[in-house]
Chains A and B, each alone.
Chain A
């Protein structure tokens, strides 16, 4: 799946169309609070995608629809999800508490456990500074994400993520996407980004500014 827009959208200029990834609510649309729906439109018109400046992609974007190559590696007490170009996630597979509330992270703080054949990952401490997709969808710094990864056959993982963010949405919502095994034997390479990134200059020139993140968005919207 691609990261242009969680919701259904057709092909358009430089944007590849796709059906909605959202399976709940049934209409496939993000259940924004009214002020937040307006904010999303304002986001796309005013700012530019946080990924354009090489910021980390956050959740669920990093895992669900970001990378063509991602390693999933297991060691005692940990599962690592490593991307060639979008950083890594550490899933602690123990019952240790999440880190303190004063620590906020782009990719959140994750604790995992097994329920039968499903890996369940609970993530908090997200910082509200990333866009959920290129279309400007966003969340707060109290977003809570629960992901479920189930191997349905040797080459396919069924991925579901439920996002609960009562500051922005009227109810939790869920996406479901397949993750397919990459059968090429290519090495996964580390890609730089910030070192050679010039696109943000074009975007600034086109009248967009960097997304200021949840704290400033909320303050400006009186939330």
Chain B
């Protein structure tokens, strides 16, 4: 996913945060206080009396880049973290692993390869999602890579994790008062919680809590537990905002399709090599590279390419080189490549 900075800028422009109370809502929700009185409206309810979680929602924070407090850096806005206590209680070995992940995040982050982001990360990716609510399940459809989640509420258990696991886990939900509590298990160990390298094992267990607090706001909390990686459970929370634009609808973000388009070059040929300068999270220049990795001066033209900007190559820019041979260059697990 490459368009973070521009998406964040556009989103801030269109989202109506009309009053200071909306900002207060975020802070108070994080501190655990009820925010009903701030929203100026009753919580909508379904015919069965349960709160309605329906609508098109989106998070407005920087957790997808880094879920803890962080300063700004190239392509990444500064952010106050969403982690309670701002500490992620890693075991010692895992703390070192997280550090290594962070240093190599441009290539190691599975989300950079357009893989599914897992739970809870997909909730706070800067893309909208739509909730449809039924008596025995909740459907959430996400604009990001056409992912959907079914939160089953008929009381049946998770499938046996020795039989099956999922990138997005398996979700079983029930109401506790006015909060939808979602128990998520059956994860694989392939996803990260953010671009900063925070990770988990296949023992991950997430409990989400969705609490509608008014016509346009919801509080989202997630307790994260993984005895193979952390010393104790830990918790994140954030507000979710209902998109206000008239006729707003989910579109598509087909991450790996765009990335493939960039690599295709001219019709029917393979691009020999591609150099992506990751600035502002976006590939904005392609050039051929010689065997020593230096530019040859040739430019490969991709269809629809705009005029190429010259980019400064300071220490803050992150550079990745991909092997353009073969459709999927991420197949490290396949010896056939």
* A positions within 8 Å CB-CB of B: 46, 53-56, 71, 73, 75, 78, 80, 82, 87-88, 90, 92, 96-97, 99, 103, 105-107, 129, 187-190, 192, 194-195, 197-198, 200-201, 203-204, 209-210, 212-213, 215-217, 220
Contacts and interface: CB of A to CB of B under 8 A. Distances in A.
B146 to A, nearest CB: 4
B267 interface: yes
Contacts of A220: 267
Nearest to A71: B139
Contact of B250 (A90, A96, A129, A212): A90
Nearest to B329: A201
Given A99-B251, A212-B267, A80 B141 contact: yes
Contact of A87 (B146, B156, B260, B261): B146
A45 B331 CA distance: 26
B267 A198 contact: no
A96 B251 contact: no
A78 to B, nearest CB: 7
A209 B328 CA distance: 12
Contacts of B159: 187
Contacts of A80: 132, 139, 141
Nearest to A54: B256
A46 B269 CA distance: 11
Contact of B326 (A88, A188, A201): A201
25 contacts: A46-B268, A53-B260, A54-B256, A56-B257, A75-B132, A80-B132, A82-B141, A90-B130, A90-B141, A90-B250, A99-B249, A106-B252, A106-B257, A187-B150, A190-B147, A192-B166, A198-B331, A200-B327, A201-B327, A201-B331, A204-B327, A212-B303, A215-B303, A215-B304, A220-B267
A80 B149 CA distance: 13
B254 A90 contact: no
A182 B121 CA distance: 32
B337 interface: yes
The 9 closest A-B pairs by CB, nearest first: A87-B146, A200-B327, A216-B267, A75-B132, A212-B267, A194-B256, A195-B115, A96-B247, A192-B167
Contacts of B38: none
Contacts of B116: 192, 195
Contacts of A189: 164, 166, 170
Interface string B157-193: 0010000101110100000000000000000001000
B57 interface: no
Nearest to B268: A209
Interface residues of B, number: 50
B115 A194 contact: yes
A103 B190 contact: no
Among B132, B261, B326, the one with the most A-chain Cβ atoms within 10 Å of its Cβ is B132
Contacts of A215: 303-304
Given A78-B132, A82-B148, A201 B268 contact: no
A105 B251 contact: yes
Contacts of A212: 264, 267-268, 303
B254 A106 contact: yes
B257 A129 contact: yes
A73 B148 contact: no
B134 to A, nearest CB: 7
Nearest to A187: B152
Contact of A55 (B152, B168, B257, B337): B257
B54 to A, nearest CB: 7
Given A55-B257, A73-B134, A88 B249 contact: no
Contacts of B331: 198, 201
Nearest to A75: B132
Contacts of A97: 247
Interface in B218-276: 247, 249-252, 254, 256-257, 260-261, 264, 267-270
Given A73-B134, A73-B139, A92-B249, 5 more contacts: A75-B133, A78-B132, A107-B252, A195-B190, A215-B304
A188 B54 CA distance: 21
Contacts of B170: 189
Interface in B292-337: 303-304, 326-328, 331, 334, 336-337
A103 B141 contact: no
B334 A198 contact: yes
Contacts of A103: 251
